[in-house]
Structure 1
């Protein structure tokens, strides 16, 4: 079990949240999903606005999931390709609504400050997230191009989908505006997810570096040194469990809908010989965007698990502990190992599939082949006189 912390309460202010989120803290304020207002009146109002926005993103799903063609037709695949990621947009709205309402950023930063105070040697470089802020802003540009390109192309042609029927102006404007909004909130949502995951990974990795150094200097058998590492490890795992409780709302659902959309995107490539070149490029760019977004969601929890495995290896591959005659040292050593092995720090997709390097590698093999399987089914239908 994770032990309760006995650390003193450290001073904390909103500057820590600003350091972690950077400009995205201000972007969040105007997202219409920020429910962090401190006064009761403002809190009720922002929550009502947030609920309305969540409902709108849910309504968007029904519009995009409408299909105008037979199964295995181009319009069927197109609706699935853009429709399932629409569920992901709904998930992003729920995440931002819940995260701000529960004060995730400020609570996480308080725990982060506690962990930083336990470092053996101060390392201010680990606390600088400016490069990540810049990268997040840069990567939001191609994400914007991907989300807006297909709807603008089809809007000009009087449709929502290239293979679908003509739609009224109101429906097209609704999807155009909500696409822009989904780009905005999904960018913020992913940025917060990445920043917090990065903070976790940095702390665990730095913990490993200092633990390895103490091991090499043979100071771990000093009970004072070992207890500090023990307490720090406990705080890191507490912070990880706390963060995962919220971040899993994105990491546990977004990959499922994005990757299923990707399966249908691969299926759409079988129609490229009859599709305009420009629209083929747009579809290909959207597939690339989905792949990169899925990778950005999956890599941080995979990296965290590898860092925790490294912690376990550093402790286990230490024969001196097995031979120690000090019962307190050995007991503390065993607690640290048992804590790592018994506490589940995984983020799981739909509370079932843990996001690890193994499952990530399996997905990179299975997902493309599901798309090719759909192509084979379509070709079989056509070969037997059917239509697709």
Structure 2
């Protein structure tokens, strides 16, 4: 249970906890979506005026992101035309940005990260051996920044390229100066929002995967040393496993606000992004290269949105494999030891701690691989359909 004092934690992490976010505690303030003053005001530790101001700014940012998304989607032309597919690519990824905006606003206003860190700190105390490297997320944050740079370059290049042509989409119409001048700045804000949201989501997921993986390592070591047949040892591992799964389920309650919908918009966008490649003859080479990088960035988004959650599930399932491969329990004299063993195996195999995308399919390695194979292949199918229509005398609009 979380004490009232722990519930009053602001969004910034306390020193006794793991430094999970690092510089992202600053980038989230730059997005305008930091509603931690609301959380502080709700618990009597901050000004209500600051809370209202933070919420107002966040709502304005979300409205701006909605405007960006609907502007792209409103520019789509005839079905299967380049204008149609280009608008879908940018429009659906803009809706993805809207989801990220809601997530950042909700996670900060409800102190989700401090609550998570409190539970994580409890699990760290249950480790048999301390491991400082396990709690160092600096390397992960560096990777997050490195992988966000191509996304920034892609968003910036396409926005500036179109602005130089007085457009927001290359295939679209000429728009007023105030509009095409605004979109490069909105592209930077979209990068800031999406990269911060994804970094927070991935870091939480990987921190859970690390903790469960380390649990499995210590479980394997105890099995090799023939210690699992000791009643106190197996009970300690069983309690720790239960707390780990509870942590995953609790975290999924707020992580699903991203994972339930955001990957869907990425899937919609990647289909159109692949279809865009069939219009290489009518698109300038620099912009076509930009579209290729945009497609690659969306694939990266899909992988990072689903792979960490799948890794968590893999580590939960791995516990049962370790236990079933151990030969200690066949000759266990204490029936309580075998009972604890059976509980741990059943818990590992039966506990459904997955996040469900649009409540349709749970994210695990199998579903992740199926989705990454099936959905992008819809793009080539559209390309084949376009070619077939052209061969049979139908004029596909460009």
Give the TM-score, by structure 1 length. 0.93
- Structure 1 residue aligned with 2:254: 246
State the alpha-carbon separation in 1 of the partners of residues 194 and 75 from structure 2: 25
Structure 1 residues 130 and 366, CA, compared in 2 at 3 Å: closer, same or farther?
Answer: same
Structure 2: which 5+ runs fail to align?
41-45
Aligned residue number for residue 333 of structure 1: 341
5 Å-filtered alignment, 1:341-360, equals 341-360=349-368
Does residue 1:23 correspond to 2:26, yes or no?
no
Shift of 1:214: 0.6
Aligned to 1:170: 178
Count how many residue pairs are aligned between Structure 1 and Structure 2. 381
Tell me the alpha carbon deviations over residues 78-128 of structure 1, each in whole angstroms, 9 at most, x when there is no partner: 111111111100010011011001101101110111000000011111011
2:361 paired with 1:363: no
In structure 1, the residue matched to 2:224 is 216
Pick which of 102-111 and 333-342 moved more. 333-342
The alpha-carbon distance between structure 1 residues 68 and 26, as it changes in their structure 2 partners (threshold 3 A), is closer
Corresponding residue for 2:392? 384
> Which residue of structure 2 aligns with residue 14 of structure 1?
14
Q: What is the deviation of 1:240?
A: 0.8
Change (3 A) 1:347 1:171: same
Equivalent residue for 1:44, pick from 37, 52, 57: 52
Q: Corresponding residue for 1:62?
A: 70
Give the 5 Å matches for 1:236-315: 236-315=244-323
Tell me which residue corresponds to 1:118: 126
Q: Which runs of 4+ in 1 moved over 6 A?
A: none
Match of 2:235 among 227, 231, 248: 227
Shift of 1:322: 4.1
Deviations 1:1-52 (A, max 9, x none): xxx89xxx9xx96125671101111211232111111123322221222122
Aligned to 2:43: none
Query: Is this contact kept in 2: 1:205–1:307, CA < 8 A?
Result: yes
Pick aligned residue for 2:192 from 156, 165, 184: 184
- Cα root mean square deviation, aligned: 1.9
Compute the displacement of 1:381 (Å). Answer: 2.5
> Against the structure 1 CA distance between its residues 15 and 51, is the aligned structure 2 distance closer, same or farther, given a 3 Å change threshold?
same
Cα gap change, 1:22/1:209 in structure 2, threshold over 3 Å: closer, same or farther? same
1:130 counterpart residue number: 138
Q: Deviations over 1:193-222 (max 9, x none)?
A: 111111101100000000011111111111
- Which of 204, 211, 222 lines up with 2:212 in the alignment? 204
Distance 1:211 1:222 in 2: 13
Gaps of 5+ in 1: none
Q: TM-score, normalised by structure 2?
A: 0.91
Residue 162 of structure 1 deviates from its aligned partner by 0.8
CA distance in 1, matches of 2:282, 2:298: 23
Q: Which has the higher contact order (CA 8 A, sep 6+)?
A: 1
